[in-house]
Amino acid sequence: MLTFRDGYSSSCYTSPVGDRDQILRNVMSETGTSQSELSRLSGVHQPSVSQILSGKIDFSDEQLDRLLSGMGYRLEVTRHPVKPDLTRSEYRSWKLHRFLSTELNRSTLQQWRPTISQNMLRLRDRVTGQPHQRNLRHWEELTDDGDVPGLRRILIGLDRDSIEMREVSPMTGLISQEERRKILGGST
């Protein structure tokens, strides 16, 4: 099962990328570079280099690449697609919302507004607790602003926030039963 952190699956990156301080430590050892020498080469103060190596300071791939370049190395990050481990319900919701994303534009959003508004009123009466109330407010902001790209991100997103947003989706009733059957492929 995949774990999500900051909207990304933890398996999206090879394990060494997560340990920037270890990568730096290994290259320094391999090249015989001291903290003070790395400081002079990179312009990063020696106490900061020490804190980076001890894991007390979080730093970016770009910063690591800059430190490595002073020792004749570059950072290469390998990315690969990962199919998330969604529950059956999350997957079905994603498929239905993905279909809506293909239909969504400024014109269809205007046509859908009465249904969305009615659904918002109904959800406002039923929804309790966080993050559902916050997510409902976010849906409301996106639709009120006519933010088609923002709505699309939520409709097709596979990050935890998008999945949770779809749990309180005001998009109910926009897909006919026939379309729904086709989209879900008989897995109703």
Task: Give pLDDT, residue 57.
Answer: 87
Mean pLDDT over the full length of the chain: 88
Task: Give pLDDT, residue 86.
Answer: 94
Task: Give pLDDT, residue 55.
Answer: 87
Which residue ranges form the domains of the chain, and what is each CATH number? 4-69 (1.10.260.40), 88-184 (no CATH)
pLDDT band at 188 (very low <50, low <70, confident <90, very high): very low
| pTM, to two decimals | 0.62
Long-range CB contacts (within 8 A, 24+) of 6-11 = 7/159, 7/160, 7/161, 8/159, 9/82, 9/84, 11/82
Task: Give pLDDT, residue 186.
Answer: 61
Cα 48 to Cα 14, 148, 160, distances in angstroms: 26, 43, 34
Taking only the tens place, the pLDDT of each residue in 10-26 is: 334 333 445 889 999 99
Taking only the tens place, the pLDDT of each residue in 21-41 is: 999 999 999 999 999 999 999
Taking only the tens place, the pLDDT of each residue in 91-125 is: 999 999 999 999 999 999 999 999 999 999 999 99
Taking only the tens place, the pLDDT of each residue in 116-166 is: 999 999 999 998 888 899 999 999 999 999 999 999 999 999 999 999 999
